[in-house]
Amino acid sequence: MALLNDDQIRDFLASKPGWERQEETIVKTFEFGDFVEAMGFVTSVALHAERAFHHPDIDVRWNKVTLRLSTHSAGGLTEKDTELAEKIEELTGG
């Protein structure tokens, strides 16, 4: 899969508030009411990620979940990352 160019990444970030670029990843932290709600979100993300065979790095801190997406096999950001990020946004009503 081809790497996204800087313009494509900028366009994605402009259309998805809260996502930011950190080197060769896109990252967003989601905040929930409590730990159980955060873990429910993680489970939903895991199901979508497994179907897409594309797995984010996930960090859980009580009611905050940080997701980091990158296509390691391609060495950076690809459409797989932006597509999964869009699915994740749908889970939160974004």
pLDDT at 1: 81
- Kind plus residue range of the DSSP H or E element containing 44: helix 35-52
What's the whole-model pTM score? 0.94
HSE-up of residue 64 (Cα within 13 Å, Cβ side): 5
The token pair that represents 29 in the structure block = 């932290």
pLDDT at 36: 98
pLDDT at 93 over 90: no
Q: For residues 45 and 1, which has the higher predicted lDDT (pLDDT)? A: 45
pLDDT at 59 over 80: yes
Radius of gyration, alpha carbons of the chain:
13
The token pair that represents 61 in the structure block = 């801190």
pLDDT at 32 over 80: yes
**Averaged confidence pLDDT in the chain:** 96
CA–CA separation, 2 and 41 (whole Å): 29
CA nearest 84: which of 69, 63, 94, 65? 69
pLDDT at 20 over 90: yes
The DSSP-derived string for 55-89 is --EEEEETTEEEEEE-BTTTTB--HHHHHHHHHHH
